[in-house]
Amino acid sequence: MNILLKKLTLNTILIGLLLVSFASATVADKADGKKIAFDRKKGNCLACHVMGDGDMAGNVGPPLIAMKIRFPDRAILKAQIWDATAKNPISIMPPFGKHYVLTDDEIESLLDYLYTL
């Protein structure tokens, strides 16, 4: 019985550590996503969108607010960032993925951040 209790306790500790490390990675991804969004050589979202605590934002694109409500399907928002011209051929939004401005991992981090807005 004592061995079983030790195994259960050890498993509980391991699961807890995994959850903490996952949560930390998510926080890091969101921070990376914000850096990408604000970086003039990467996402540069502020050039066209009002968002978060960004200064001197543009107003060409829609404000990036309530993103979870506006884009409940993450794949749709990812497709928009990857290549907005696929859905709207006359879109002025750069195709960040299609033209290799952002990697897939960078887009995922950006999405993590956008879903906090």
The pLDDT score that the predictor gives to residue 26 is: 59
Instruction: Give the residue from 16, 27, 56 showing the smallest Cα distance to 40.
Output: 56
Question: Which CATH number is 2-114 given?
Answer: 1.10.760.10
The pLDDT score that the predictor gives to residue 92 is: 95
End-to-end CA distance of the chain: 49
The pLDDT score that the predictor gives to residue 22 is: 42
The pLDDT score that the predictor gives to residue 28 is: 61
Instruction: Give the residue from 101, 70, 105 showing the smallest Cα distance to 83.
Output: 101
Q: Distance between CA 53 and CA 74 in Å, rounded?
A: 22
The pLDDT score that the predictor gives to residue 2 is: 55
Ranges of the chain whose pLDDT falls below 50: 4-5, 8, 14, 16-25
Three-state DSSP class for residue 51:
strand
